[in-house]
A = this chain, B = another copy of it.
């Protein structure tokens, strides 16, 4: 008899048949007496269709009006889903974000949730309804419709779970959990039963696009028990994203190998080593709306230094031409770049307590003759930039070096199932 928030992505509700499938699945949960709040996305392709129409009208449509339009995608899904639940013999009621008091700031197209008024949902739940709330949307203080940006339904679901103090927030998606790495690269990749929020953040931002980063941050902050599950398989417990680290005794040092193919590297050579120089280089890049990923400044020699950073490959040529102008201005020696690089990272909270992870990683890559162009580390992550052609090899080598294909011993031993117990429908 738990209160569960279940979020279904666009693919999971991509057709009327799939919506009926979701309803059947929910019926099984209801049969166990659980209270359910559903948060569906727009049907796959619908948001793109709406935005395409807006772009036909205006190349840069007004964000407020774009939200008015975009919010309709989820509104259609909640109505259809409520109908499908009725067809399963369940009581159900749909609500838009504004209707249930999802209050956001006024940053149209990427608003942030400020508050959720749980009163109306609680009442509908108490009346025996499955409550279906449109994800991705809310309203600001003046009642203007807002949306949370791409993937915002994840955030909606987590925020609702936090507001309602739900027992669990389940994110149904087209994968059955979080893997040690991409199974298309390493067939031995293993689904993780648990992962910490911090690891998940690193994995997500590094390209394992299972959950929207903001929703993970949100879940961590409000201690929402978050689980990723497949919407196409009835079996399986998915991956639980936990607040606590796993039992230290048997825990794996590294949880997964993430990678990003679209990395391009730029270096400004012979930069005068003086305060403010980083801002002079990266300011114009930011002004051009180019996201910078890794930033490395080598130790200077003879009053100059080399300054390197990576950007998405699609921004490479724009970034190069910006740097040409910057070079003159700051008196740098030269600009070099490489848009055939990629990034590979080892992620794991275990490296906090286990020294030697970096050297193990570098050793494994060196043995295969893979040159490291850039290195960057955080508390729970080590990233390297390498030549793109070595990507698959590097991922396979690291996956094996850290023994990720083997289930952690904790499965059988000390850190038992209690921590990862799923609320099951049967």
Q: Judging by beta carbons under 8 Å apart, are B57 and A83 in contact?
A: yes
With beta carbons under 8 angstroms apart, the residue of B69, B79, B96 that contacts A66 is: B79
With A and B bound together, what is the CA distance between A164 and B64 in angstroms?
Answer: 25
A80 lies within 8 A of chain B by Cβ: yes
Decide if A311 is an interface residue (CB 8 Å cutoff): no
Total A residues in contact with B, Cβ cutoff 8 Å = 35
Partner of A69, one of B64, B80, B87, B143: B80
CA distance A76 to B65 in the complex (A): 9
With contacts A57-B19, A58-B87, A84-B57 taken as known, whether A69 is within 8 angstroms of B65 at the C-beta atoms is no
> At the interface with chain B, which of A48-56, A187-195, A340-348, A403-411?
A48-56
A94 CB within 8 Å of chain B: yes
A84: chain B residues within 8 A (beta carbon): 57-58
List chain B residues, Cβ under 8 A from A75: 68-69, 71-72, 75
Chain B: which residue is nearest A20 at the CB level? B57
Total copies of the chain:
2
Q: Which of B19, B56, B67, B145 contacts A16 (CB 8 A)?
A: B56
The answer to whether B94 touches A68 (Cβ under 8 A) is yes
Partner of A68, one of B53, B65, B79, B87: B79
Q: Which of B65, B87, B96 contacts A79 (CB 8 A)?
A: B65
A86 touches B (CB below 8 Å): yes
Q: Is A425 an interface position by the 8 A CB rule? A: no
Chain B neighbourhood of A50, CB < 8 A: 76
